[in-house]
């Protein structure tokens, strides 16, 4: 698929948001768009997905089925999640297998609402998961995702990366706008910055530090067992086996890991496990950038 000389202007008197974009999307490696707020990433994604038209230029070879999740996923629907997934699968011409796959992916991403929950009652993150699940299981030849990691919790983010790696490896074209550290670390990602209405290649970011993942158990109030956590830490509480017991999973920077662990032990928590892992998946070798000036 190719974007040729794509230009976009919202209204005759406004300046051009996209000033002649040429971009090839090929199987085997996602394209990740970076760029400041208002630089035109969402505009470019909408045009690539076929959800908006260009003012000039054209999109050639767009696959018939596109899985698109916009930056603001429109979940203002009364229909329940299960009905929505069936409806979207039917629109995409996908069979019941797609609904089953989407439901499985939702379970993997710890979707915490039910199939009967009306879409408009979903939290931002859960609505995002529904959008992603349908886009990634509808048999799309092109997947276009606008800031897909931004609403996700820490557990679901690597799952999304792994799923995108898998669909890209299977030949699906992938175009993503992302300002987190996840997108640039997708396997074979081409990273492009949208700037001044044009695209320019961007270097992969340097590797990020390791984090320490600590799993604790205890009784009573889990907050009293860990006290205040260092900035940037993530925590997730799940019920334990007993009536007042809990299990707690912490991700803290490795520099802080020992201090957090020592404080938790001093406060009576039981340590179930401690391990280190990269805070993001290491950057793979990158293919050549295809953007043309």
Ligand X SMILES: Nc1ncnc2c1ncn2[C@@H]1O[C@H](COP(=O)(O)OP(=O)(O)OP(=O)(O)O)[C@@H](O)[C@H]1O
Is 74 a binder of ligand X (CB under 6 A)?
no
Distance of closest approach, residue 14 Cβ to ligand X, in angstroms: 7
- Token readout for 241 is 């086996």
Distance of closest approach, residue 154 Cβ to ligand X, in angstroms: 22
Q: Where are the alpha helices (DSSP H) in 22-155?
A: 41-49, 81-91, 96-108, 124-137
Q: Which of 10, 58, 74, 120 binds ligand X (CB under 6 A)?
A: 10
Is 197 a binder of ligand X (CB under 6 A)?
no
DSSP state of 9: E
Q: Which residue has the tokens 């019920």?
A: 239
Q: Given the rule CB under 6 A, which of 36-44, 114-122, 150-158, 184-192 is the region that contacts ligand X?
A: 36-44
Is 38 a binder of ligand X (CB under 6 A)?
yes
Q: Which of 39, 128, 172, 190 binds ligand X (CB under 6 A)?
A: 39
Q: Given the rule CB under 6 A, which of 31-39, 60-68, 167-175, 273-281 is the region that contacts ligand X?
A: 31-39
Q: Which of 43, 128, 156, 161 binds ligand X (CB under 6 A)?
A: 43
Rg of the chain on CA atoms, in Å: 21
The CA–CA distances, whole Å, from 46 to 43, 156, 233, 271 equal: 5, 25, 34, 47
Nearer CB in complex with ligand X: 10/162? 10
CA angle 50, 72, 148 (to 5 degrees): 85
Is 128 a binder of ligand X (CB under 6 A)?
no
Q: What is the DSSP code string of 211-228?
A: EEEEEEEEES-HHHHH-S
Q: How many chain residues are in contact with ligand X, going by CB under 6 A?
A: 11
What whole-number distance in Å separates Cα of residue 105 and Cα of residue 9? Answer: 38
Distance of closest approach, residue 209 Cβ to ligand X, in angstroms: 26
Is 17 a binder of ligand X (CB under 6 A)?
yes
Nearer CB in complex with ligand X: 47/105? 47
Nearer CB in complex with ligand X: 30/40? 40
Is 40 a binder of ligand X (CB under 6 A)?
yes
Contact 176, 33 (CB under 8 A): yes
What whole-number distance in Å separates Cα of residue 3 and Cα of residue 48? Answer: 7
Residue of 52, 39, 50, 44 lying closest to 22 (CA atoms): 44
Is 183 a binder of ligand X (CB under 6 A)?
no
DSSP state of 267: T
Q: Which residues bind ligand X (CB under 6 A)?
A: 10, 17, 35, 37-43, 71
């Amino acid at each position: 698929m190719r974007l040729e000389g794509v230009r976009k202007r919202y209204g005759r008197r406004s300046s051009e948001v996209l000033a002649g974009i040429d971009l090839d999307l090929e199987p085997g490696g996602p394209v990740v768009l970076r760029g400041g707020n208002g630089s035109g990433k969402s505009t470019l994604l909408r045009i690539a997905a076929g959800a908006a038209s260009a003012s000039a230029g054209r999109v050639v070879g767009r696959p018939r089925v596109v899985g698109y999740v916009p930056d603001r996923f429109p979940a203002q629907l009364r229909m329940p999640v299960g009905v929505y997934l069936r409806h979207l699968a039917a629109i995409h011409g996908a069979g019941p297998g797609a609904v089953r796959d989407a439901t499985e992916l939702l379970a993997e991403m710890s979707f915490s609402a039910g199939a009967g929950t009306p879409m408009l009652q979903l939290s931002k993150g859960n609505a995002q998961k529904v959008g992603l699940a349908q886009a990634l299981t509808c048999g799309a030849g092109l997947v276009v995702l606008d800031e897909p990691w931004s609403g996700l919790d820490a557990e679901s983010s690597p799952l999304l990366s792994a799923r995108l790696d898998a669909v890209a490896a299977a030949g699906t074209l992938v175009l993503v706008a992302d300002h987190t550290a996840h997108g640039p670390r997708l396997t074979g990602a081409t990273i492009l910055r949208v700037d001044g209405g044009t695209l320019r290649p961007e270097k992969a970011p340097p590797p990020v530090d390791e984090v320490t993942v600590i799993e604790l158990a205890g009784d009573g109030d889990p907050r009293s067992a860990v006290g205040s956590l260092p900035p940037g830490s993530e925590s997730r509480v799940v019920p334990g086996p007993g009536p007042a017991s809990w299990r707690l999973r912490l991700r803290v920077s490795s520099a802080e890991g020992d201090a957090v662990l020592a404080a938790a032990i001093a406060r009576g928590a039981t340590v179930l496990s401690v391990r280190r892992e990269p805070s993001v998946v290491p950057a793979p070798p990158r293919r050549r950038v295809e953007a043309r000036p």
